[in-house]
Structure formats: structure tokens, C-alpha cells
Amino acid sequence: MNSIQLEKNISLSNFTTWGIGGPAEWIAQPKNIEELQYIINWINKKKIPCSIIGAGSNLLINDKGIKGLSLCMRNFKGIHIDKKNGIIEVLSGEMLPTLARKAAKNGLHGIEWAVGIPGTIGGAVVMNAGAQEHCISNYLESITTLSLTGEYKKIKGKDLNFGYRHSLLQNEKLIVVSARLKLTSGHAKKIRQVTNENLNHRLKTQPYQAQTCGSVFRNPEPWKAAKLIEELGLKGFRFGGAEISKIHSNFIINANQASSYDVRELIKYVKKNVFDSYGILLETEVKQCGF
């Protein structure tokens, strides 16, 4: 008998780092393959749509909520480390900071930059998350996916069409079940030190304690979105409960019970101002769900 709970009308605000989002018609949080398989069978029987959520650290969810099933993968955890060969096999709900810490502890070098990114490995692969000139695709050998109709597939990293905060998975709805990373051996003490320094740097330069979604806009190379926004004097600018961070102007913080409407209006305002002043059309990095 399967023990997974399918719950109805649960607010998704606790499932995003912005603390924003209306109710999920249905929500499930599988912990293992059997539970995930059960859910896939269930959605196919009910013929309802499915939206995938990791840690919700790059998601803006509509205040009106999401129809169908919200499949939240943040409890889908497990890590296996083959220290000798530098291989990490990880289930998609593991958090990047945990992964970075465990790699450092085992003297594996490569993902020290990931320590301050509060997303799951599944979300990181979809987004090709990165920092300091690194990104997850540089260390990814392959992933295993599950389609919404129940087929498993192993896909090599090189076949995922990775780019700047982009992967093929943003266009094809596949559940990332697990990932296989290849790191290199190094000196554990040194790797731990770099990992700690990276986190400290973030704590100083980003509104880390506030409810945010990280960088809202993609950088329109060669420019930095934060710099363009800051130069327009928009730091601290508010719409409703949403505010452009005074610490990092590519972050929007939920300063006071912001709604998805507040955030979207603020995004529109920033885009208009940047376009009018520089002729540059900013694109959002944040994914929007239920609109």
C-alpha cells in the first residue's frame, strides 16, 4: 500500500522562496521512486495537468493558484558519492548547498560556487544554475528523467542543449529524477575554505535573509541587469508589497505580503524604464507559473 498523501487546496506560498503563490488544486511531495510512479499513474488516470516545483527558488506562482497537480520534488532525496572516481549520483530533490558541502567534505572540487544557491539539483539542471563563471552543466554527466506518461530516459549532459540559464528541459516537460555529476579530487580543507568564502561573499552582497527569488532578470550580455537598474535609481522602489532590494538591484524582495500581481507590476515597471533609458529589453530569469 502506498503512503503518499495527495492533498487538496494547499497554499503554494510555503513552496516558494518568495513566499508567494495561491492554492494548488492538488499537491504531492514524493519521497521515492515508488511514490513518484504512483503519482504519475494517478495523474494519467485523472487526466489532469501537472506542474513541477523544486525548492521554488526561481518561481513566481499566481495568487490564483495552479490547476491540476503541483508535483513538489523537494523531499525526493538521496546522495551517493564515489569519492575515488569523483562521481556523485543524486536524486533531484537534494539541495545544492547540501551537495556542495558534501562534495567539499569528501575532497571533491567543482561545485564550491553552488553553496549559496537555495535550489534543488533538479531545478539547477533545468535552469543550468551557476555562479562565478561556473554552471551545473560543466559537471553534469547525465540525468534520468521520467515523462508524464511514465517513460524513464537517461540523457547525457551534452544532449541537454545547455546555455546561459537555459536547458532543453525548459521546453520539454520531463521530471528530472536524478543526476550524475563528475567532479575532480582536491584538497578537502582548501575546498571547504573556498566553499565557506563563497557563502560569506553572498551573505554580504545579496539580501540573503529576505524572501526573494534570486536574480529576477537575465543579464543582457555584455551588461549586468543589476547595474542598469541601479543606475536608474530604482533601488528601494516599491510596488505594493514588492520592493527592489537596496542591497542588490536585480533582486525583488517580498517586503510586505507582496502578491504575484505586485511582483509582475514591478517587473513591468523596471522593464519599461530600462527600455526607455537604454533601449535594452530585459528578459526574466524567473519562471512564472499559473498565469
Ligand X SMILES: Cc1cc2nc3c(=O)[nH]c(=O)nc-3n(C[C@H](O)[C@H](O)[C@H](O)COP(=O)(O)OP(=O)(O)OC[C@H]3O[C@@H](n4cnc5c(N)ncnc54)[C@H](O)[C@@H]3O)c2cc1C
**Residues found near ligand X in the complex (CB under 6 A):** 17, 52-59, 73, 92, 117-120, 122-124, 126-127, 129-131, 175-176, 206, 208, 212-214, 287
- Which residues are bridge partners to 95 per DSSP? 120
- Residue with Cβ nearer ligand X (104 or 216): 216
Pick 6 or 199: Cβ nearer ligand X? 199
Catalytic residue among 74, 101, 165, 180: 165
Within 10 angstroms of residue 285's Cβ, the number of other Cβ atoms is 19
Q: How far is the CB of 50 from ligand X (least distance, A)?
A: 10
By beta-carbon proximity to ligand X, the closer residue of 127 and 181 is 127
Smallest gap from Cβ 129 to ligand X, in A, equals 3
Annotation marks residue 215 as catalytic: yes
107 or 115: whose CB is closer to ligand X?
115
Per DSSP, helices labelled H in the chain are 33-46, 96-105, 121-127, 188-205, 225-231, 260-278
- Of 51, 70, 167, 215, the active-site residue reads 215
Q: How far is the CB of 105 from ligand X (least distance, A)?
A: 21
The dihedral region occupied by 98, where left means phi > 0, alpha psi between -120 and 50, and beta the remainder, is alpha
Catalytic annotation on 165? yes
Nearest to 119 by CA among 263, 215, 184: 215
What DSSP line would sit under 41-104, residue for residue?
Answer: HHHHHHT--EEEESSSTTEEE-TT-EEEEEEE-TT---EEEETTTTEEEEETTSBHHHHHHHHH
Alpha carbon distance 20, 10 (integer Å): 13
Radius of gyration over every alpha carbon of the chain, rounded to an integer in angstroms? 19
Residue in the structure block whose three cell numbers are 500500500: 1
| Shortest spacing between CB 47 and ligand X, in angstroms | 20
CB of 126 to ligand X, least distance (A): 4
**Closer residue to ligand X in complex, CB, 99/107:** 99
- Nearest alpha-carbon partner for 89 in 101, 81, 97: 81
Active site residues: 165, 215, 285
